[in-house]
């Protein structure tokens, strides 16, 4: 419901922006053909462009209801915003046009998949990983419908690299091995897609294709270096990086910025292999390239590898020299990164002020009317949400009055082929485990904070796999969700039957139910019943007060 509201809000704001510029209509292109030729010329790099000009072309496309012009201008505008790390503006820009593209299932020319991909990258840089992954998969789904096969393989190659970055940047310790496998899988997929692009393609230049291949081999080298403690990975890193270097030497496809990155990774490789003179040579080559293609992040890497190599060789003077330069530059980069967001925001404010000079009294009235509509919609949605939560609460109370709450099946089980483990469970064993589960639910052993699948299986005198299978079959739950459900129902019964529990803090209720943190308790409670513990307690108290008043 909230998502629909935000989509509506952005659509309304977009409409207002069009209205605010009616005074400048004379200067806007007034035909689809003119707009297409102008945008195509910008795409091909035949003329310089600025965000302000792209906004003007986007506005002209909107006035003509020219969908392709809107998509082309937004795609180009996002690219300009990316150069300035204006990630928040990218997300807002795409959200404005999302009502236009959300129901489209095919993307023959590739603009929509490009837009979703760039939005996903912006979300990833903002730390919104789940939303980033969702948009990346949207981009991949649409990229598969691109009509030109070479453009399709190119886009899928880019998206696979994005998915590699997503899994490579996650810090979930419990899923670390799976993330590493996924990260490597998508890098290899990217390489496969790149290799499918024809060398005679008219849509993907030969240089672009091999640039992508070199970049992917470089990323493979970095991946193996980051996990060099695993046997064989250092050899794989060397193979990948030397392959990247060989293609670069024969085809000269990299620009100076990424060439410095490749050279630095080779320096890192030979630092790990303890071939310090060779590491120094590559780091110095990277610095030479960086001089004509200023990139502080590459320079700081070179300083680090030089400092480490000279230290290993016993040259403390040069080691200190490069370490001092590394420290100063690293501090400068950190300060620049903190200021980057402020600069981007100031630029946007300036553009908004310039556009605001063209407002008229009629446009102000229109804005107020739109605001009124937005507030009305927000109020309607809020009332709906309140009614929905109230109905969920009443269902809970009805169940409590009838006796006890059942464990809701929060997980939808997919039909699956019986595994060999499942086939080994005899009916007698299955019924024995089920009987013990019923006794377990009538006790309070599930309140123990140290309870685990292994410990409970030991108590039941069975193995974890059997216990997991029986819980899935008869309770439609994973073990963790099953235990959480028992704990939450225990607290709900306490709150309903023993009013003194309603005065306890949420953190105490969570702890008494066996939850490690109260945040997990609140999330699990809402996931099961659609209301928060605080809402449930508040309504219980209100009902009690009303009964006392009567």
- List the Cα angle 240/243/248 in 5-degree steps: 130
Q: Which residue has the tokens 């060779």?
A: 278
Share of the chain above pLDDT 90, in %: 9
CA distance 238 to 218: 10
Q: Record the tokens describing residue 250, joined without a space.
A: 């024969």
CA distance 135 to 118: 9
Q: Whole-number mean pLDDT of the chain? A: 79
Lowest mean pLDDT across 41-55, 152-166, 484-498: 41-55
- On the question of pLDDT at 449 being above 90, the answer is no
- pLDDT score of 149: 92
- On the question of pLDDT at 501 being above 80, the answer is yes
- Contact between 483 and 518 (Cβ < 8 Å): no
Q: Three-state SS string across 260-308, please?
A: HHHHHHHHHHHHHCCCHHHHHHHHHHHHHHHHHCCCHHHHHHHHHHHHH
Q: What is the DSSP letter of 229?
A: T
CA distance 297 to 228: 22
CA distance 437 to 443: 10
CA distance 30 to 372: 32
- On the question of pLDDT at 326 being above 90, the answer is no
- Nearest CA to 260 out of 216, 215, 220 is that of 215
Lowest mean pLDDT across 195-204, 250-259, 399-408, 503-512: 399-408
CA 547, chain centre distance (Å): 49
Q: Domains in the chain and their CATH numbers?
A: 404-549 (1.10.10.60)
- Nearest CA to 489 out of 444, 540, 534, 519 is that of 444
Q: Which residue has the tokens 């080691």?
A: 319
- Contact between 117 and 158 (Cβ < 8 Å): yes
Helix (H) or strand (E) holding 459: helix 453-459
**Higher-confidence position of 363 and 470:** 470
CB contact set of 320 (below 8 Å; sequence gap of 6+)? 307
End-to-end Cα spacing for the chain:
37
CA distance 109 to 114: 10
Lowest mean pLDDT across 57-66, 114-123, 287-296: 287-296
**Higher-confidence position of 358 and 524:** 524
- On the question of pLDDT at 281 being above 90, the answer is yes
pLDDT classification of 328: cutoffs 50, 70, 90:
confident
> CA–CA distance from 446 to each of 435, 461, 478, 490 (Å)?
16, 17, 15, 10
- Contact between 224 and 240 (Cβ < 8 Å): yes
- Nearest CA to 305 out of 339, 260, 256 is that of 260
Q: Which residue has the tokens 């948009």?
A: 135
DSSP code per residue over 117-132:
HHHHHHHHHTT-HHHH
CA distance 459 to 439: 12
Phi-psi region of 42 (alpha: psi -120 to 50; beta: other; left: phi over 0): alpha
- Nearest CA to 488 out of 411, 398, 416, 396 is that of 396
> CA–CA distance from 254 to each of 158, 208, 261, 278 (Å)?
16, 9, 10, 22
Phi then psi for residue 222, to 5 deg, are: -65, -45
DSSP code per residue over 429-444:
HHHHHHHHHHHHHHSS
Positive or negative CA dihedral for 381, 382, 387, 391?
A: positive
CA distance 413 to 421: 18
Q: What is the model's pTM?
A: 0.52
- On the question of pLDDT at 21 being above 50, the answer is no
Q: What is the CA radius of gyration of the chain?
A: 30
- pLDDT score of 362: 57
DSSP code per residue over 465-481:
HHHHHHHHHHH-S-HHH
- pLDDT score of 256: 64
């Amino acid at each position: 419901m909230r998502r629909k509201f935000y989509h509506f809000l952005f659509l309304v704001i977009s409409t207002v922006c069009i209205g605010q510029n009616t005074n400048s209509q004379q200067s806007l292109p007034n035909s689809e053909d003119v707009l297409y030729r102008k945008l195509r010329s910008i795409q091909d790099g035949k003329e310089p462009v600025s965000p302000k000009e792209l906004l003007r072309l986007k506005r002209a496309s909107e006035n003509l209801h020219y969908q392709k012009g809107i998509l082309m201008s937004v795609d180009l505008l996002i690219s300009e915003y990316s150069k300035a790390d204006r990630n928040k503006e990218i997300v807002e820009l795409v959200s404005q046009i999302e009502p236009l593209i959300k129901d489209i299932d095919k993307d023959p020319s590739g603009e929509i998949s490009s837009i979703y991909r760039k939005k996903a990258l912006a979300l990833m840089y903002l730390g919104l990983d789940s939303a980033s992954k969702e948009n990346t998969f949207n981009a991949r789904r649409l990229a598969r419908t691109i009509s030109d096969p070479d453009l399709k393989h190119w886009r899928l190659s880019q998206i696979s690299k994005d998915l590699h970055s997503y899994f490579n940047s996650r810090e979930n310790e419990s899923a670390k091995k799976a993330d590493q496998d996924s990260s490597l899988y998508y890098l290899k997929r990217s390489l496969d897609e790149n290799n499918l692009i024809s060398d005679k393609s008219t849509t993907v230049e030969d240089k672009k294709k091999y640039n992508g291949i070199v970049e992917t081999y470089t990323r493979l080298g970095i991946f193996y270096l980051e996990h060099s403690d695993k046997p064989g990975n250092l050899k794989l890193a060397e193979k990948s990086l030397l392959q990247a270097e060989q293609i670069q030497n024969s085809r000269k496809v990299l620009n100076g910025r990424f060439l410095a990155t490749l050279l630095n990774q080779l320096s890192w490789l030979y630092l790990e292999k303890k071939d310090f003179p060779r590491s120094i040579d590559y780091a110095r080559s990277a610095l030479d390239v960086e001089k004509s293609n200023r990139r502080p992040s590459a320079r700081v890497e070179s300083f680090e590898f030089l400092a480490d190599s000279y230290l290993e060789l016993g040259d403390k003077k040069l080691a200190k020299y490069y370490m001092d330069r590394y420290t100063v530059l690293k501090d400068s980069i950190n300060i620049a990164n903190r200021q980057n967001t402020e600069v981007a925001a100031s630029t946007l404010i300036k553009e908004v002020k310039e556009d605001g000079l063209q407002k008229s009294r009629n446009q102000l009235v229109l804005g107020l009317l739109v605001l009124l509509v937005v507030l009305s919609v927000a109020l309607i949605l809020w009332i709906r949400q309140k009614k929905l939560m109230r109905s969920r609460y009443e269902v809970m109370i009805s169940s409590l009055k009838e006796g006890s709450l059942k464990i809701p099946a929060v997980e939808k089980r997919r039909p699956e082929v019986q595994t060999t483990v499942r086939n080994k469970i005899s009916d007698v064993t299955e019924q024995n485990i089920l009987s013990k589960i019923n006794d377990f639910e009538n006790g309070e052993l599930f309140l123990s904070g140290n309870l685990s699948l292994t410990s409970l299986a030991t108590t039941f005198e069975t193995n974890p796999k059997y216990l997991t299978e029986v819980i899935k079959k008869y309770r439609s739950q994973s073990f963790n969700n099953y235990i959480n459900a028992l704990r939450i129902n225990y607290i709900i019964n306490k709150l309903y039957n023993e009013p003194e529990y309603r005065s306890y803090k949420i953190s105490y209720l969570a702890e008494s139910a066996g939850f490690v943190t109260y945040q997990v308790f609140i999330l699990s409670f809402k996931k099961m019943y659609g209301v928060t513990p605080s809402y449930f307690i508040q309504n219980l108290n209100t009902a009690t007060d009303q009964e006392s008043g009567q």
